[in-house]
Amino acid sequence: MAGVKTNERPGTRAVLRHYRMSAYKARQVLDLVRGMDVDRARETLEATPREAARVVAKVLASAVANARNNEQLDPEDLYVSACFADEGTTLKRWRPRARGRATRIRKRTCHITVIVSRLPDERLERRRARRAEETTAMRSRRVAASRRGGGAEQASGATADGAVSEVEELEAVGDDDTEAGLEGDEVLEAGADEAEGEADLDEAEVDEVAAEVEVDEVEAEPAVAAPRKGTKKATAEDAEGDDERAGEEEKG
């Protein structure tokens, strides 16, 4: 049993004829969007980095416009029911080669057809239920985020109050410490004055002791020097006596 002919497929179509592109290149892009709903197919074509994607997106927009204006269909309920590319006229050109020969150049064209139809009721119900679930989930996430934000604000307010009270307590403690520090400084200054007075007394005592030691040394020097002089004289007399005895012995 033969299938449905290309020109007899149901739906609203748009055709681009004699576009200067090979049908092979156009079919690679058409295979990406076949069976998708219109919104998803449009997004896929926008993200495809090929020249055929730009052309197919224009043909798809034309088919959707035909369905909305001619068939009074909702664009959100449409999907790409069929899309194909047929070979068009091939232009022949020639390129000169060596030894007087020529090579044929084939400039191919294609006919791009996009057919959109209304989604089945079951598929529409599933999509609506999915969108409702997504909306509910998004709303619940927003509510949870707002609650978290409110709790965070309250917590930040409580933290700020606690920080202010801690700062006040630290300032009070700092004032007390400052007063105690001033009293301690006064006590330290008094102690320093007393220490300086004691140091002056110690220096005076040291000076007195040094003076006494000098006096003792001065008194002791003559007593020590006298015996030394007498010792020298006694030693000279002894030497003279020894010389006289030695002379007498030689005479005898």
How confident is the model at residue 226, as a pLDDT? 46
Element (H, E) at 4: none
The two three-digit tokens of residue 146, written as one number: 């707002």
Between CA 78 and CA 39 the distance in angstroms is 9
Mean pLDDT by 10 residues, the chain (252 residues): 68 93 95 92 94 95 94 90 93 94 95 93 86 89 84 65 69 61 59 62 64 60 47 55 66 57
How confident is the model at residue 32, as a pLDDT? 94
Find, among 197, 61, 252, 37, the residue nearest to 128 by Cα. 37
How confident is the model at residue 9, as a pLDDT? 79
How confident is the model at residue 225, as a pLDDT? 44
